Chains A and B, each alone.
Chain A
């Protein structure tokens, strides 16, 4: 058990809909990362938050957004869903040293999103 939790485990929805994925980092970790794992593109970094602020953006679509709350949990919002958004979405967290994230990330079990 990594200490990172994600809900829900599975999500099935229709095209055009909006969903919210939730992540709770390990106790004390300030950094949260979101990744997408799909069959055609592999694992891709989406976005990082550090103590409530966005720190880095990767291949995240404009239809997707995220935030990190004062209690450090994070939510990834996916809207106007398309078939191609079906994937496994992972959240990871890491600790801090000297004001920057440490390099080891611990992953949650993932949320499997199926768009029909």
Chain B
């Protein structure tokens, strides 16, 4: 069945460092791909999405490109801030019901 694998955390970075969180997927058909973020004590917020191959999603300095050839959707940010400390989830949506299938989440801690 469909699945999402993302790199395990926790990831600890210094402020202004470059961030990459790897995400790969297995799916039949053509899924949409998402990154959601969960700040401490809060719910899930959509960070960015891409709906077809070679699409780039971007928001708040974060970017991810839908790579069909490598079945990947890696999250990147050029310069992280302390306020980016959160758990990041990669997910895919497939089928008519559009249910989300999730990776296990990657915890990011950014130190000043």
Interface residues of A (CB under 8 A from B): 2, 31, 33, 35, 42-45, 48, 50, 55-56, 58, 90, 92, 94, 100-110
Task: Tell me the dominant secondary structure on chain A's binding face.
Answer: strand
Q: Which residue of B lies closest to A48 (CB)?
A: B97
Give the distance to chain B from A116, nearest Cβ to Cβ, in Å.
Answer: 21
Contact pick for A42, options B36, B95, B104, CB 8 Å: B104
Give the distance to chain B from A34, nearest Cβ to Cβ, in Å.
Answer: 10
How many Å lie between the Cα of A48 and that of B96 in the bound state? 11
Give the chain A neighbours of B32 by CB distance below 8 A. Answer: 103
How many Å lie between the Cα of A109 and that of B39 in the bound state? 11
Q: Is B101 an interface residue, CB under 8 A from the partner?
A: yes
Q: Is the CB of B101 within 8 A of A45?
A: yes
Give the chain B neighbours of A101 by CB distance below 8 A. Answer: 96-98
Give the chain A neighbours of B95 by CB distance below 8 A. Answer: 56
How many Å lie between the Cα of A103 and that of B104 in the bound state? 20
Give the chain A neighbours of B36 by CB distance below 8 A. Answer: 107
Give the chain A neighbours of B44 by CB distance below 8 A. Answer: 90, 92, 107, 110
